[in-house]
């Protein structure tokens, strides 16, 4: 790690719970550009303003708590270096995720998001083979092993999704991707009908913003399309299948 120091300005919208609109506040920092945006936020809280609120836990991209918008783009701030988002004497803008209710400052309310995932029986642990994307090569040595799946439930995909921005009832990319995975893993109680409605799998406009911002290889866009393929197959069978099968 280099011992360079940059001067940067961090602009953050400040908002107490219940206030209708935020006001912007600038913080000036001296920081090593190899540090992360989350380090910068934590430094602001520790050294400049103890009233700043933000979510974080693991600091290494496994928990999904620290998602924010940095210069208008969804980032997992614990693995986003200062160098990658600004320059010396430059500035960064850090905002809470979109499409979630803001509680205060950078903290958003994840209640609906987690309820949707739970409804889809999205799993956090799956067999090793099923934890990878279908088009990735599977290694034989990992048979009979399990692992924590890729989705860290950070909400970046929902924040970046243009459909979620305009339709509050849309189930959202994380839950649809979660359903696609729980179907593959044969989790009890999972049925693809859970997404077979207008605000479910059919609402996606395939903008693929979700896959573009996903920090954890989940590829929600790909998974939504795969889910649609499965639904089409099922519905085609239902609509045009032969009579014996319908009875």
Binding site for another protein (CB under 8 A): 1, 3, 16-18, 36, 42-43, 45-47, 51, 53, 55-65, 78-79, 103-104, 107, 110-111, 113-115, 117-118, 124-125, 128, 141-142, 145-150, 152, 216-217
Nearer to another protein, 57 or 232 (CB): 57
Task: Specify the 3-state DSSP secondary structure of 40.
Answer: helix
Give the list of residues 6+ apart from residue 168 with CB closer than 8 angstroms, or none. Answer: none
Nearer to another protein, 102 or 228 (CB): 102
What's the min distance (Å) between Cβ of 131 and another protein?
Answer: 8
Nearer to another protein, 8 or 117 (CB): 117
Q: What span, in angstroms and rounded, lies between the C-alpha atoms of 118 and 201?
A: 16
What's the min distance (Å) between Cβ of 88 and another protein?
Answer: 19
Nearer to another protein, 217 or 235 (CB): 217
What's the min distance (Å) between Cβ of 159 and another protein?
Answer: 17
**Which H or E run contains 8?**
strand 6-14
Q: What span, in angstroms and rounded, lies between the C-alpha atoms of 77 and 91?
A: 15
Instruction: Report residue 227 CA to chain centroid gap.
Output: 18
Q: Tell me how crowded residue 34 is: count the other CB atoms within 10 A of its CB.
A: 15
181 touches 205 (CB < 8 A): no
What's the min distance (Å) between Cβ of 142 and another protein?
Answer: 6
């Amino acid at each position: 790690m280099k011992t360079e120091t940059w001067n940067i300005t961090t602009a953050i919208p400040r908002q107490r719970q219940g206030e209708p609109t935020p006001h912007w506040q600038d913080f000036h920092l001296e920081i090593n550009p190899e540090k992360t945006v989350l380090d910068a936020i934590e430094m602001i809280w520790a050294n400049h303003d103890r009233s700043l609120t933000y979510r974080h836990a693991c600091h290494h991209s496994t928990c999904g708590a620290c998602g924010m918008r940095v210069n208008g783009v969804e980032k997992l701030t614990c693995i986003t270096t200062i160098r990658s988002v600004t320059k010396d004497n430059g500035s960064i803008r850090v905002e809470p995720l979109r499409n979630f209710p803001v509680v205060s400052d950078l903290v958003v309310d994840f209640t609906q998001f987690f309820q949707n995932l739970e409804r889809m029986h999205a799993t956090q642990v799956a067999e090793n083979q099923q934890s990878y994307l279908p088009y990735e090569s599977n290694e034989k040595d990992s048979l009979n092993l399990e692992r924590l799946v890729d989705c860290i439930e950070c909400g970046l995909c929902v924040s970046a999704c243009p459909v979620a921005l305009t339709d509050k009832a849309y189930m959202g990319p994380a839950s649809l991707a979660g359903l696609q995975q729980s179907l593959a893993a044969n989790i009890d109680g999972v049925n693809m009908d859970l997404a077979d409605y207008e605000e479910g799998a059919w609402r996606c406009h395939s903008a693929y913003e979700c896959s573009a911002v996903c920090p954890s290889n989940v590829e929600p866009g790909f998974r939504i399309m795969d889910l649609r393929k499965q639904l089409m197959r099922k519905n085609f069978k239902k609509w045009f299948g032969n009579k014996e099968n319908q009875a």
